[in-house]
Amino acid sequence: MSSIKFTINKKINDRLGRAGVLSTPHGDIQTPAFVTVGTKATVKAMTMEQVADTGAQVVLANTYHLYLQPGEEILKKAGKLHKFMNWNGPTMTDSGGFQAFSLGAAFGEHVSKIAKGEDGRIAKQEKGEEVLSALAKVTEDGVTFKSHIDGSKHHFTPERSMEIQHNIGADMIFAFDECTSPQASYEYQKEAMGRTHRWAKRSLARHRELLKENGEKRALLGIVQGGRHEDLRKESARIISEMDFDGFGIGGSFDKEDMHTAVGWVNSILPEDKPRHLLGIGEPIDFFGGIENGVDLFDCVAPTRMARNGTIHTKNGRINVLNAKYVNDFTPIDSDCTCYTCQNYTKAYLSHLFRAKEMLASTLASIHNLHFTIKLVDDIRRSILDENFEEFKKEFLGRYYGNQ
RNA sequence: GCGUCGGUGGCGGAGUGGUCAAUCGCGGCGGACUGUAAAUCCGCUGACUUUAUGUCUACGUUGGUUCAAAUCCAACCCGGCGCA
């Protein structure tokens, strides 16, 4: 029996989208929901009380980072992730599979998992070139990482990822997968996808053994890959669906233009009664496209990373508070926003903090962006329940992107 | 007053006869960021325009040496330090 339970309360007419509740051992998540990223068991620049105040329901940490520092034994001794980081709500961990990409093909390159326009350069991995700077190397057995902290070598296998994730102790964990570059060829995407499927099976097997051994409650989500190719995405969705996962992640690379179409291919195949998590996606426009195509959970570093770099969301689009025009702007970021930052501080003050390189700048901006993002997904959820998703989508997108 | 060192772009500071509108850092202006290698990274930053292997004005001031000076010489102005 699964340790999580997913209930659908309402669907969008003629679409894959739905609003529901995902019950975990540490509480319920109203879906669709944005999952706050706290990679190293901390949401950068914020205390967990501040994270909770933004409306966050669930936090996701990373296996690779916590394995390197402070190490799984410390997490275990601390009483697992929840206790260690002082977060009593639901948690997730990513498997380390994304680092096969970010420390591998993407290392030292200006490549994101989202390809924009005709970004069709050939990836190094398919030219057979050893990338001198790469810190990750993929084989059938797993991924060998060179620590970005001290250069030491570490080998991750699906089995090892499961062991570490059980030691970290999140409520929902992910199968070990390979995230590929959008620049990779069809052949490479196919090869990597096959490997991810074999790793999914191994992850599931080891996860089951560990559940028996430790008697704990933990859900495992399998990950669909296949890049931007329809046949691969559908094949992956079919194969991963056939395995007995508690839920699903949709990972890998996309073209910005047809990301949501690709998500739709996958979600029309995945079983309807289990939750789906679109990995690493989180710009405002993406939530609408993802949700109407059947996504229940999103996680993304964008809100907090952009905040630390001075880019802030407003209902009228994003702004860079470092721009000269905000030096003398004594109004809040967003007059309607109910977050702590908007209730108490002005753009001029944030501008000053960023220019002076004061760390409070990161904190205040993160509070706002996180609140904005979480609330946006929550508003979409409400619009599904109120049966006015389309109106809300049109209104929000018109205002947010219309002024750009 | 004498001696001595020094005066370079918004600031700090390279350069010590030609390839110098002048390394670099800071500051300024703008951009990027999508399962966090990230409080990071990338442009631009004398003026003008047809934004170019383009024109012009620039290295305290004035004059000189030289084919050629930010770089050498002289005087002057200003600043630091030392001695009176």
Count of alpha carbons within 13 Å of A235, Cβ hemisphere only?
15
Domain residue extents for chain A:
5-300, 311-396
Q: A231: exposed, middle or buried (C-beta count within 10 Å: 0-12, 13-18, 19+)?
A: exposed
- Separation CA A170–CA A351 (nearest Å): 37
Instruction: Provide ipTM, 2 decimals.
Output: 0.93
Nucleotide nearest to A355 (CA to C1'): B27
Give this prediction's pTM: 0.94
pLDDT confidence of residue A120: 52
pLDDT confidence of residue A110: 84
What would the DSSP string read from start to end of A44-58?
Answer: TT--HHHHHHTT---
Spanning CA of A212 to C1' of B33, the rounded length in angstroms is: 42
The pLDDT tens digits for A162-188 are: 999 999 999 999 999 999 999 999 999
Q: How many CB atoms lie within 10 A of CB A7?
A: 11
Nucleotide nearest to A254 (CA to C1'): B34
Strand B: positions under 7 A of a protein C-beta atom:
27-41
Amino acid at A95: S
Q: Which residues of A are catalytic?
A: 94, 299
The pLDDT tens digits for A8-53 are: 999 999 999 999 999 999 999 999 999 999 999 999 999 999 999 9
What CATH code is assigned to A5-300? 3.20.20.105
The pLDDT tens digits for A303-319 are: 999 999 999 999 999 99
Check residues 221 to 280 of chain A and report those whose beta carbon is under 7 Å from nucleic acid strand B: 223, 249, 251-252, 256, 279-280
Nucleotide nearest to A304 (CA to C1'): B36
pLDDT confidence of residue A127: 56
pLDDT confidence of residue A1: 79
Across residues A200-212, what is the average pLDDT? 98
Contact A177/A200 with Cβ under 8 angstroms? yes
Spanning CA of A281 to C1' of B2, the rounded length in angstroms is: 76
Residue whose entry in the numeric block shows the structure tokens 């990750």:
A136
